[in-house]
C-alpha cells in the first residue's frame, strides 16, 4: 500500500483569505492528500470547507498544529526534518514583519535544507499541485549529503 503524501499549509494573517480560496479551488485535488496546517490557518480552512460540505463528495484529512507564533512553525519544521512533509505551501506576507520572524526564517531554511518542494505564492502553489511529480510514487527529493559537515573537526 502506498503512503498518502502530506502537504503542509501555512499562511500569514494577510494571506489567509488567499490560502482559503486556493484550498476551495483545489479541494478536489487536496482530497487525495493528508494536510498539515498551522493552527489558525487550519481552523479557517476547516471552517471554509465545512461551509462547502454540500458541494464536496469526500473528506479532506487535516491535522492542526499550534498557531505559528505559538510553536506551530517549529512543529512543522520538525515534521520536515523527520521526513513527514512532502510539499509546503506557505503564503507569507512580504510587506509586514512578523513577531515570530525567526521561526518563519527557520521554517524556510529547513524546507530548503531538506529539499521539500515549496510554494510561497499562489502561482507557484498552482504549478506544484498540478505537477505529475506530486502523484508519482517514484519521485523522492534528493537531499544533499551533509556528512562532511557533520564530521568536520571543530577547534575549541
Residues 85-90 have a mean pLDDT of 96
Determine how many CB atoms are found less than 10 A away from the CB of residue 102: 11
Please state, in angstroms and rounded to a whole number, the distance separating the CA atoms of residues 140 and 143.
Answer: 9
Fold of 6-150: Rossmann fold (3.40.50)
Question: pLDDT by residue (tens digit) across 42-61?
Answer: 999 999 888 765 554 458 89
**CA 50, 71, 41 angle in degrees (round to 5)?**
20
Q: In Å, how far are 14, 54, 105, 127, 136 from 133, measured between CA atoms?
A: 30, 31, 26, 11, 5
Q: Which residue has the higher pLDDT, 143 or 128?
A: 128
Residue 53, pLDDT score:
58
Catalytic residue from among 73, 103, 126, 138: 73
Please state, in angstroms and rounded to a whole number, the distance separating the CA atoms of residues 69 and 100.
Answer: 6
Residues near 120 by Cβ (< 8 Å), separated by ≥ 6?
A: 90, 91, 92
Per-domain residue ranges of the chain: 6-150
Residue 93, pLDDT score:
80
Question: pLDDT by residue (tens digit) across 111-135?
Answer: 999 999 999 999 999 999 999 999 8
Question: pLDDT by residue (tens digit) across 8-36?
Answer: 999 988 999 999 999 999 999 999 999 99
Question: Is residue 13 annotated as part of the catalytic site, yes or no?
Answer: no
Q: Which residue has the higher pLDDT, 148 or 46?
A: 46
Question: What band does 99 get if pLDDT is binned at 50, 70 and 90?
Answer: low
Cβ atoms of residues 116 and 141 within 8 Å: yes
Question: What band does 69 get if pLDDT is binned at 50, 70 and 90?
Answer: confident
Q: Which residue has the higher pLDDT, 86 or 57?
A: 86
Residue 57, pLDDT score:
45
Amino acid at each position: 500500500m502506498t503512503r498518502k503524501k502530506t502537504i503542509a499549509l501555512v499562511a500569514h494573517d494577510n494571506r489567509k483569505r488567499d490560502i482559503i480560496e486556493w484550498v476551495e479551488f483545489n479541494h478536489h485535488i487536496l482530497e487525495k492528500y493528508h494536510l498539515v496546517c498551522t493552527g489558525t490557518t487550519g481552523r479557517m480552512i476547516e471552517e471554509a470547507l465545512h461551509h462547502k460540505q454540500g458541494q464536496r463528495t469526500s473528506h479532506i484529512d487535516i491535522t492542526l498544529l499550534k498557531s505559528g507564533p505559538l510553536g506551530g512553525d517549529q512543529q512543522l519544521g520538525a515534521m520536515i526534518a523527520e521526513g513527514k512533509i512532502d510539499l509546503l505551501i506557505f503564503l507569507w506576507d512580504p510587506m509586514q514583519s512578523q513577531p515570530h520572524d525567526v521561526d518563519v526564517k527557520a521554517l524556510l531554511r529547513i524546507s530548503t535544507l531538506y529539499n521539500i518542494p515549496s510554494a510561497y505564492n499562489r502561482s507557484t502553489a498552482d504549478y506544484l499541485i498540478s505537477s505529475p511529480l506530486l502523484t508519482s510514487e517514484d519521485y523522492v527529493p534528493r537531499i544533499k549529503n551533509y556528512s562532511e559537515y557533520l564530521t568536520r573537526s571543530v577547534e575549541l
